[in-house]
């Protein structure tokens, strides 16, 4: 049975996949993990970064004694996956990304980071604040602050360039929802065109938050692609 690792998005956790995992377990040996500082893990004393989260995956693979694994990465999880595919190619098999942002620039990053103000969220969207606290524990505000800083840094210096994507040799399926308000179809297509061995999937009536993705549909796509 093939091994499959699911990687969550920014300010998310492995709990994002609670409904997805049962739909995949008959087909794959499914694994999940939480990036540093997420899902109640201790907050690292270093900044959040794609490099840090990629190291989390490498450490996890070493701990599990897994040489190579197929990966489904949602949003930031997809970005981390492609970073690994470029820099640690021997560790990554086939790749499936969903709703991954590729076009990082200063203006866009500042806009996204501004939406992660924990005090404003606590005051104006208490239900979301409660959900974040349930996901990350008492450190949820720190998770948001460090994620916002990471986004600003990505805007200044993206961890993946188009040249990096062109160097990825693994089979990759790039997917995006047609109603995604964070990731554009244009940037997704641009990334797809850079990848040497890629295919493109556009999911109809699909927004960015994973909680709004049609879980049976994405499970079927994962099974078809990796199966």
How many Cα atoms within 13 Å fall on the side-chain side of residue 191? Answer: 30
Give the pLDDT of residue 5.
Answer: 98
The reply to whether 122 falls in a domain is: no
Q: Are 217 and 177 in contact (CB under 8 A)?
A: no
**Interatomic CA distance for residues 14 and 31, integer angstroms:** 10
Q: Are 48 and 36 in contact (CB under 8 A)?
A: yes
pLDDT at residue 227 greater than cutoff 90: no
The reply to whether 129 falls in a domain is: no
The reply to whether 46 falls in a domain is: yes
**Interatomic CA distance for residues 161 and 184, integer angstroms:** 17
Task: Find the mean pLDDT for residues 162-190.
Answer: 96
Q: Is the dihedral of CA 11, 90, 96, 175 positive or negative?
A: positive
Per-residue pLDDT of 86-121, as tens digits, reads 999 999 999 999 999 999 999 999 999 999 999 999
Which domain does 187 fall in, by range? 3-103+160-226
Q: Is 17 exposed, middle or buried (0-12, 13-18, 19+ CB in 10 A)?
A: buried
Cα dihedral 58/41/104/97 (nearest 10): 60
CB neighbours of residue 89 within 10 Å = 13
The reply to whether 152 falls in a domain is: no
CATH of the domain at 42: 3.40.50.1820
The reply to whether 148 falls in a domain is: no
The reply to whether 15 falls in a domain is: yes
**Interatomic CA distance for residues 225 and 96, integer angstroms:** 8
* Residue ranges in 9-117 assigned as alpha helix (H): 21-24, 50-64, 76-87, 106-114
Domain count, the chain: 1
Q: Structure pTM?
A: 0.96
pLDDT category of residue 35 using cuts at 50, 70 and 90: very high
């Amino acid at each position: 049975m093939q091994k499959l690792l699911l990687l969550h998005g920014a300010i998310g956790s492995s709990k994002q996949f609670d409904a997805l995992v049962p739909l995949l377990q008959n087909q794959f040996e499914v694994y999940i993990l939480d990036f540093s500082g997420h899902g109640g893990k201790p907050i690292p004393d270093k900044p959040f970064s794609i490099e840090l989260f990629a190291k989390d995956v490498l450490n996890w693979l070493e701990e599990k004694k897994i040489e190579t694994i197929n990966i489904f990465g949602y949003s930031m999880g997809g970005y981390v996956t492609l970073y690994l595919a470029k820099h640690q190619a021997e560790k990554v098999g086939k790749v499936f990304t969903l709703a991954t942002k590729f076009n990082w620039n200063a203006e866009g990053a500042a806009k996204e980071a501004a939406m992660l103000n924990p005090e404003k969220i606590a005051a104006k969207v208490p239900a979301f604040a409660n959900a974040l606290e349930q996901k990350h524990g008492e450190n949820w505000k720190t998770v948001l602050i460090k994620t916002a800083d990471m986004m600003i840094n990505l805007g200044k210096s993206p961890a993946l360039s188009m040249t990096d994507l062109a160097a990825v040799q693994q089979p990759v399926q790039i997917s995006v929802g047609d109603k995604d308000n964070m990731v554009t179809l244009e940037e997704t297509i641009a990334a797809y065109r850079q990848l040497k061995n890629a295919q493109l999937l556009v999911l109809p009536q699909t927004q960015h938050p994973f909680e709004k993705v049609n879980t049976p549909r994405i499970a079927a796509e994962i099974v078809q692609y990796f199966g």
